[in-house]
A and B are shown apart, each in its own frame.
Chain A
């Protein structure tokens, strides 16, 4: 089964593998030389496999008299696909990497199909048999490949359309598309006139509409709010506003419950406008919470007050490296409503100094809990 041609290439693979390993052991494992030798081995293996696969390009037949390529010459559009791939690769080089990758994919697909087609054409003098050989060799990748391309095309174009329209229109378009698919299905299934040519027309039309809409949408870009959201980065820590009032982004639809209870070192309560705290293992209420330096430690904030509150931790002040301005350091939870809770995880790398002690406060409530970092 191993053809003579492939033997040479496999031999080359083996040799270069051995020399690569020797090179790695004796000379330098991370050197370019090793990479080159491995590359040689890989290409040897690849060409060897191709040689094996195409029987060194030979035709075996019982009828020795029949000309080798008696059945050859079936028309093929794979060269065109191959050329298209090459064009895309060149375009991609000049423009965007996506096109380049796409081009490579098309190039490989066209190349493989072309090779297999040629190989099958030379398999025997019987065209029917040659087609059988071609399918056996290639259909295992054609089916899933085409299916994957189909999925990709629909998902890509459809998502471009929904990304381009407004947030409210998205679900409507989605439901319309789904309904159309369903209705067309039902029509074809139940109405006798929806047969043959009509279905093809419907399918072609649907693909055309989707592709056109999708291309337009992709070119026009995503809807404005998304671009703004991406640029503004609403949820960046720098947007945190820790006052008593609700902030624009940070408190928008604030998160009101958490499931971190097993991991909090202390719980800070606000009740009737007053702040107090309990710590794990301590039987009495505490006015100081000690947490280890540089250790991610969670503190729970539970609001037992009628009004909304947030927990703020004050960590002294520091010079901002970029501007040189001294600013207050600290962070806060979102506003939480009555009987609701949030967790704040702190990792404080510097111990508190006497001049600016750390503390927890709740804007709009009295009292503070001291925070000690030894």
Chain B
């Protein structure tokens, strides 16, 4: 929820106002929001770290994790960061066609990542790990689910942005809007970098 809200760009007061730092209001707000999100994901990651080994019922993490598959997932998300940054630089060159292209590619990679997560959750569930099975289950699904929601929101924003650019309905500085969504997208990626190492690669 807060994601959407903070994304919104109120340019009004740029009019007739100088900006004390010379920076854009929107970017300042976005970075603040990301700084704040660090504590959100930090809390969920800490909860997982505390509870990862606490299994009364159901499987342990090491019994169900599919590292090869998750590695590919991580790789896909990482590559989507590349395509995102290409979209940003195209937008800064005012190249609408390429901006849109890379936005769509990023969104597609993000959507397959979500598909991968759907697959992963389904297999875990089949093997006996539900949300309510154990502390490990609850904290694992809460953490990766929160991340998944962030990615999904990102994909929806990317696709909508593409549509809005195509229709020429964008309010405000186009390159900056792309950059803001890019910042969000990269943040989601770095959260996954941490999750991949702390959750998947380091055994509990």
| Contact surface of A with B, Cβ cutoff 8 Å | 135, 139, 143-144, 146-148, 150-151, 154-159, 162-163, 167, 170-171, 174-175, 177-178, 181-182, 184-185, 188-189, 222, 226-227, 229-230, 233-237, 252-260, 334, 343, 345
Contact = CB atoms under 8 A, between A and B. Distances in A.
Contact of A171 (B58, B68, B123, B204): B68
Given A143-B164, A147-B160, A252-B63, A177 B112 contact: yes
A162 B54 contact: no
Contacts of B108: 154, 181
A259 B59 CA distance: 17
B81 to A, nearest CB: 12
Contacts of A343: 53-54
Query: For chain B, which range describes its interface: under 10, 10 to 19, 20 to 34, or 35 or more residues?
Result: 35 or more
Given A177-B112, A178-B72, A256-B203, 8 more contacts: A151-B114, A157-B115, A159-B119, A175-B72, A181-B109, A227-B126, A236-B57, A259-B204
A156 B115 contact: yes
A15 to B, nearest CB: 34
Contacts of B105: 181-182, 184-185
Contacts of B158: 147
A264 to B, nearest CB: 12
Majority-rule SS of B interface residues: helix
Contact of B128 (A184, A227, A236): A236
Nearest to B50: A259
Interface of B: 49-50, 52-63, 66, 68-69, 71-73, 75-76, 79, 83, 86, 98, 101-102, 104-105, 107-112, 114-119, 122-123, 126-129, 152, 155-160, 163-164, 167, 169, 203-204
A229 B128 contact: yes
B79 A171 contact: no
Contacts of B117: 155
B69 A155 contact: no
B79 A159 contact: no
Most chain B beta-carbon contacts within 10 A, residue among A156, A182, A235, A343: A235
Contacts of A156: 115, 118
A139 B167 CA distance: 11
B102 to A, nearest CB: 7
A202 B25 CA distance: 40
Contacts of B110: 151
A150 B115 contact: no
Contact of B152 (A151, A175, A185, A260): A151
A53 B61 CA distance: 53
Contacts of A234: 59, 127-128
B69 A171 contact: yes
Contact of A189 (B79, B98, B118, B123): B98
Contacts of B61: 255
A85 B146 CA distance: 32
B119 A146 contact: no
Nearest to A341: B53
In order of increasing CB-CB distance, the 9 nearest A-B pairs are A158-B115, A147-B159, A154-B111, A159-B118, A185-B105, A143-B160, A255-B60, A258-B53, A155-B115
B114 A150 contact: no
B156 A148 contact: yes
A235 B63 contact: yes
Majority-rule SS of A interface residues: helix
B150 to A, nearest CB: 13
B204 A257 contact: yes
Contacts of B111: 150-151, 154-155, 158
30 contacts: A139-B169, A143-B159, A143-B160, A147-B160, A147-B163, A151-B110, A151-B155, A156-B115, A158-B112, A158-B119, A163-B122, A167-B66, A170-B119, A171-B68, A171-B71, A174-B112, A177-B112, A178-B109, A178-B112, A185-B101, A189-B86, A229-B128, A230-B126, A234-B59, A235-B59, A254-B62, A256-B203, A258-B53, A259-B52, A259-B204
A355 B72 CA distance: 58
B62 A253 contact: yes
Contacts of B115: 154-159, 162
Contacts of A345: 56
A166 B145 CA distance: 24
Contacts of A151: 107, 110-111, 114, 152, 155-156, 159
Contacts of B53: 255, 257-260, 343
B72 A181 contact: no
B7 to A, nearest CB: 12
Contact of B159 (A146, A159, A185, A226): A146
A232 to B, nearest CB: 9
A205 B98 CA distance: 21
Most chain B beta-carbon contacts within 10 A, residue among A163, A182, A185: A185
Contacts of A257: 53, 203-204
A158 B57 CA distance: 30
A235 B118 contact: no
